[in-house]
Amino acid sequence: GCVLVVSVIEQLAQWHNSTVKAAVERLCNYIPGKYQIICHMLRCIDREMNADVVCHSLKLCKQDPGQPLCHLYPPPKVSWFSTFLESYRLWKKSFVGFSSVCAFPLLANLCEKIKYVIRNKLPFEDFDGDKFSTFPTLRGYHWRGRDCNDKNTTVYPGRRPDNWDVKSDSNCNGIWGVDPKDGIPYEEKFCKGADSQGVVLLGDSAGAHFHIPPEWMTVTQMSAKSFANLPMAFTDELDWPQFSEITGFLNSTIGGWTDSLYLRLRKRNRCNHRDLQNISQNGMSFFFSAAYLSSSLARNQLLDNPAIVIYATIGNDVCNGNRDTLAHMTTPKEMLSNVMQALRYLDSRLPNGSHVILTGLVDGRFLWDNLHDRYHPLGQLNRDITYSQLYSFLDCLQVSPCSGWLTPNETLRNLTSERALQLSSVLKEIARSEKFANFDIFYMDFPLRQTAEEWRKMGGEPWQLIEPVDGFHPSQIAAALGTSITWQKALHEWPQVLGKENPFNDQIEAIFKDQGGH
């Protein structure tokens, strides 16, 4: 992260033909409010010091004994050691006592909030403790349906209506009251027998929709507007679940368009409004323990509607940043044990009539094949940094999101895909052979090949399906196209999963159009 930020500063100086100090000031003026403290840390940058030197001197990068010195750029012309010492003295003088960004008073409270939500996967602002919130970020309604009464623990999205919601909206779908023409509650008239159900995603960073805006690193287009979304992105862990493939509900502001399983279920049955939960975590593998699900899943077996649960960690069981990456991959035996443990717990929590869809792992060779010789956003100004170089840098630091796929070693890429296929086969066999009391279970391959084919038909290039900054996650375009492919598969192969179409949708919208917001 540090190397990326310092690189942007140096490129800003180059693009505007200014001093590095002026470029730091320019960047600080772009960045909102209290977040400016991050760039003020970098005022020690000098023309003699490239990004690697600065970040090592700030102790944000380090070289462990016996390990290679990791750098994205060639070493500076002057002595690395003397440059390092000078930079470190400047930094130490200005920031003595601060060991990390979170040690700064202006950011300490925010960091504590973020640590809380990462640890608990629950909304930070949730006054009644029902796991739903009226606040968007910090695991709020960007991740789960918006609470419509945060002072009443019995009011939340997804529950069956209390007394048909005659007096108030107990399930937050915006439908309540009594039709004055016939005295029948609207919830009973429109939603009774309508197969109302929610959607829950148990996923990883792809499901959470990890995204670093490329405009944060494209100096030729950079302005204050580029960083307007920084506070929201920071407090959503650099995830954008509100635009994601499974639970997205807002129009995308990060390119492409939003299409999601939730939006299609809502369109099919307006009674499903706000019934969504994205319980994804950056770095999550298929091991969703009972303790994890118990603390994060909001579903009452007796009081709530059934749910479609998408169980999708598409790469982390084979992806890690270790040098001996194969030894740290999940084995088929571990996969079987982990998934069965989670499914048994879900059977004890999900209302009867629910559905679980297991998603296979992706074939990540697609990443190297389509990106390795392209320029990363950071390398586009000077045409000096390819994705291959970025992958090597991250691998040296042992923070690669996937050492097995983001590598020039073709044999290792093939072995990683082979393991992914083995693990997908385990999931497929579980779906074929296992039975549960409260849900039926299905399997589907991750639709990367179909997504790429569909995008080519639309005139697109395969590399556009990958996030440009991290070079690893599915892009907004890939997410939207994937929704369409998944929906068509479900319509043809498992129509019972999607429920029937509600014939009263138009009437609901006409009467409750002012209460349909998210």
Q: Which residue has the tokens 């008239």?
A: 189
Residue 377 contacts residue 469 (beta carbons within 8 Å): yes
DSSP codes joined into one string, 243-273 = GSTTT--S--SSSS----HHHHHHHH-GGGT
| Active-site annotation holds for 205 | yes
Residue 130 contacts residue 159 (beta carbons within 8 Å): no
With b for 16 or more beta-carbon neighbours within 10 A and e for fewer, the 234-247 pattern comes to bbbbbbbbbbbbbb
> What are the helix (H) ranges across 158-270?
186-191, 205-208, 230-235, 261-268
CA distance 351 to 346: 9
CA distance 162 to 139: 26
DSSP codes joined into one string, 316-331 = TTT----TTGGGGSPP
Residue 401 contacts residue 391 (beta carbons within 8 Å): no
Residues in the chain: 518
Catalytic residue among 87, 205, 252, 424: 205
Residue 358 contacts residue 430 (beta carbons within 8 Å): yes
**Strand order in 307-312's β-sheet?**
276-280, 198-203, 307-312, 354-359, 439-444
CA distance 260 to 275: 13
Closest CA to 353 of 194, 470, 131, 118: 194
Residue 50 contacts residue 73 (beta carbons within 8 Å): yes
Q: Which residue has the tokens 């506070």?
A: 231
CA distance 115 to 122: 11
Residue 41 contacts residue 96 (beta carbons within 8 Å): no
Q: Dihedrals φ, ψ of 469, to 5°?
A: -80, -50
- DSSP letter for 178, please: B
CA distance 441 to 497: 10
Residue 106 contacts residue 31 (beta carbons within 8 Å): no
Question: How many CB atoms neighbour CB 381 within 10 A?
Answer: 20
Residues 6+ apart with CB under 8 A from 298: 130, 131, 132, 144, 156, 158, 277
Residues forming the active site = 205
